[in-house]
Structure 1
Amino acid sequence: MDEFLNGKMKALVASGVGEYELALDFPIPECGPDEVLIKTEGCGICAGDLKCYKGASRFWGDENQPMWVKPPFIPGHEFLGHIVKIGENVKGFEIGERVIAEQIVPCGECRYCKTGRYWMCEPHATFGFQKENNGGMSEYTLFPKTALIHKVPQDLPIEKALLIEPYACSKHAVDRANISNEDVVVISGAGTLGLGMVTYAHMKNPYKLIVIDLVDERLEKAKEFGADIVLNPNKEDVVQVIKDLTEGYGCDIYIEATGHTSSVNQGLQAIRKLGTFVEFSVFGEDTTVDWSIIGDVKELDLLGAHLSPYCYPFVIEHIANGSLKTDGLVTSTYPIEQWEEGFEKATGVDGDFKVALLFDK
């Protein structure tokens, strides 16, 4: 494939908060002996991308935390494409194969990597936020030596393939909860990631699967994906409903997938004593809670969920065979030239689930 040998590509480049610009002549990365270069097929727009664009301190730092991003960088971590170059030391892949990489680019040397917990790699390089590991909002993307690459079926529709990364994160969050068939499970948030949790949690056959969201259209999709009960906090006292359904005790498991502070406090009220609370979201602001609920009042198991370790093979297989429901989640796509419209659409202003940028559109 010599189509890219002019050395230039289109790429969305972030240089500061809100300072994103489409470059038409960004250098195509050189493929080293241990690397893989792909022609990007598409890239989903994540809530994390939007929060970064708008300047959330989690990315750009504040008085309590250092800046995590390393501009100028190309955003995007929900991407996949076809291999166009392979380094001479790379084995197991061929030109033309369709592939995806996990968001984390582990160092392979820290204590977490060496004990198999690579997703918590201490240097924590990731695609889409640092200039050393540019993301997928560009025509070509480089997978470095330690990237974790997975093959994607060639015939898997792009609308389904774009959900591999978010669904892998959803799977890890649900796995952290260790759901049994006796559990009343509440998932708060029915966006793309929350719905990924719903369709996977349904496979665990919980006693009751309850989904909470403020948008009725999302709740309808949650029922389609396997929810037994859906609740809208704008229309009913969801904490009281959950307690009424559980003889006053509360749910066994609460998975927070909204990134809103109200959902955290809601969960602490809705969950029973000795319950399991899984926090998944990236927040745009600090959350204040009565910390004594977690300890002295209820003695909760409070668990975090980060990225998607060991989840990609399962997710790829079960999206492909239909066990994980995906219909109707990718609702809008745009060419890279219309990235601003795509970012605006991805805020949910028109009720979209997943919005993506496509490179052959």
Structure 2
Amino acid sequence: MKALVVYGPGNYRLEEVPVPEAGEGELVIRVEACGICASDIKTYHGAPKIWGGEGNAPYIQTPVIAGHEFVGKVVEVGQGYDGEFQVGDRVISEQIVPCRNCRYCLTGKYWMCQTHDIYGFRPNVHGGMAEFMKFPKDALVYRVPAELPLRKAVLIEPIACAKHAVDRGRIEPDDVVVLSGAGPLGLGMIGAIRMLRPQLLVVLDLKDDRLELAKRFGADVVLNPGKANALDAVLELTEGYGCDVYIEATGHPASVNQGLEMIRKLGRFVEFSVFKDPVTVDWSIIGDTKELDIYGAHLSPDCYEPVIAGIASGELPTEGVVTHQYALEQWEEAFGVMDKGDGSIKVILVP
């Protein structure tokens, strides 16, 4: 089969590799599509967080087939499989395959599994930028409606991550929420935020086309910080106090510092992004000045089923998020379009 194999930063190769076979309790799927994540772009460019360096141990192990935003159909069921799925079923697996034995897994916090095998980063869990892929026996697998259009189904993973980030903010009906970033994940957060019915949702982004989509998805106010003073605007909207909840979804250090200025005292700051390099902030703002609650958000625990239902019903909007579709053989062009980001939001590969 064809597969996009990662060997090192900037060293990705489209190769012919063996089709995986289902072992004990495993599933093999034919991949319908795989999205390109911002983390895929950062991996390609050699981010120290992933490749090691600057005090970070390497996370990725190569060679490995890339991709963790996939959806597909079961083509083989391994001997001893005791799950609910059979050949022909349309399925998705959470991006992490937990070990089920570490302290996190044993206490229900499987998404923080110490082993932390995520598809596309470890050779024992090859990713979805291939014609076929294997779900290990410990994979968390869910049914995807057969009638769900491909451009909606391929967004399940990123929107599940988006929902978890929103959940971490503990948004209440009288809250003013600022969401910084209207990329694929930020747009996914808008629907999840609207379901909680805050008093006001303000979305920030430097790209006007994304802000237009954010408005369609349910943002009350959209602001381009490159064209207007977003801090002054939010302070004016909140009688000078600042927002109650700030969700950072850009991956840019300036957005972090902006949020610390924009959020009110005793506010809740949710950090979602994966940064290329370490970010420096004034920690006295977090502590002595504002006494903020800081929440991280990682992966998508307990979010897949409600997100699948929300996308299928339309409660979680998706129309217009997938802007480009390429064949696997066109991966270089697809990565370039996703990296540049001009006129693109989510780019997908179809094997």
TM-score for the superposition, normalised by structure 1: 0.96
Q: What are the superposed Cα offsets for residues 301-332 of structure 1, whole Å, 9 maximum, x if unpaired?
A: 00000000000000001100111101011111
Asked whether the 8 Å contact 2:26–2:137 carries over to 1, the reply is yes
C-alpha distance in 2, partners of 1:339/1:63?
29
Task: Give me the identity figure in percent.
Answer: 57
Q: Which amino acid aligns with 2:6?
A: A
**1:179 equivalent in structure 2:** 171
- Is 1:35 matched up with 2:12? no
Write the distance in 2 (CA, Å) between the matches of 1:130 and 1:218: 33
- Hey, what's the Cα distance between the residues in 1 that align with 2:343 and 2:173? 33
Counterpart in 2 of 1:73? 64
Q: Please state whether the residue corresponding to 2:17 is helix, strand or coil.
A: strand
Amino acid at match of 1:33: E
Deviation at residue 78 of structure 1 after TM alignment: 0.2
Task: Work out whether 1:161 is the aligned partner of 2:153.
Answer: yes
* 1:3 corresponding residue in structure 2: none
1:92 is aligned to 2:84: yes
Please state how far the C-alpha of 1:256 moved relative to its aligned partner.
Answer: 0.1
d(CA) in 2 for partners of 1:49, 1:321: 29
Q: How does 1:222-241 map to 2 (within 5 A)?
A: 222-241=214-233
Report the Cα offset of residue 349 of structure 1. 3.8
What is the Cα deviation at residue 29 of structure 1? 1.3
Q: Does 1:117 align with 2:109?
A: yes
Counterparts of 1:74 and 1:147, CA distance in 2? 17
Question: Do residues 49 (structure 1) and 40 (structure 2) align?
Answer: yes
Partner of 2:126: 134
Residue of 6, 17, 37 corresponding to 1:14: 6
Instruction: Write the distance in 2 (CA, Å) between the matches of 1:244 and 1:110.
Output: 48
Q: Is the 8 A contact 2:48 2:54 kept in 1?
A: no
Q: List gaps (5 residues or longer) in structure 1.
A: 1-8
- Tell me how far apart the structure 2 counterparts of residues 187 and 348 of structure 1 sit (CA, whole Å): 22
1:357 counterpart = 2:349: yes
Partner of 1:205: 197
**Segment of structure 1 superposing worse, 84-93 or 209-218:** 84-93
Per-residue deviation, 1:71? 0.2
The residue that corresponds to 2:207 in the other structure is 215
Aligned-partner Cα distance in 2 for 1:262–1:98 = 41
CA shift, 1:200, in A, is 1.2
Deviation at 1:28, TM superposition (A): 1.1
Measure, in 2, the Cα distance between the counterparts of 1:260 and 1:152.
Answer: 33
State whether structure 2 residue 115 is matched by structure 1 residue 149: no
Query: Which amino acid is 1:225 matched to?
Result: F
| Aligned residues: CA RMSD | 0.7
TM-score by length of 2: 0.99
Q: Cα offset for 1:350?
A: 2.8
Aligned with 2:60: secondary structure? coil
Q: 1:243-263 CA distances to partner (integer Å, 9 max, x unpaired)?
A: 111111100000000000000
CA distance in 2, matches of 1:222, 1:327: 11
Counterpart secondary structure, 1:267 = helix
- Aligned residues between the structures: 350
1:276 aligns with 2:268: yes
TM-aligned CA deviation for residue 348 of structure 1: 3.7
Q: Which runs of 5+ in 2 are unaligned?
A: none
Match of 2:240 among 220, 243, 248: 248
Identify the match of residue 295 of structure 2 among 288, 303, 307. 303
CA distance in 2, matches of 1:276, 1:192: 22
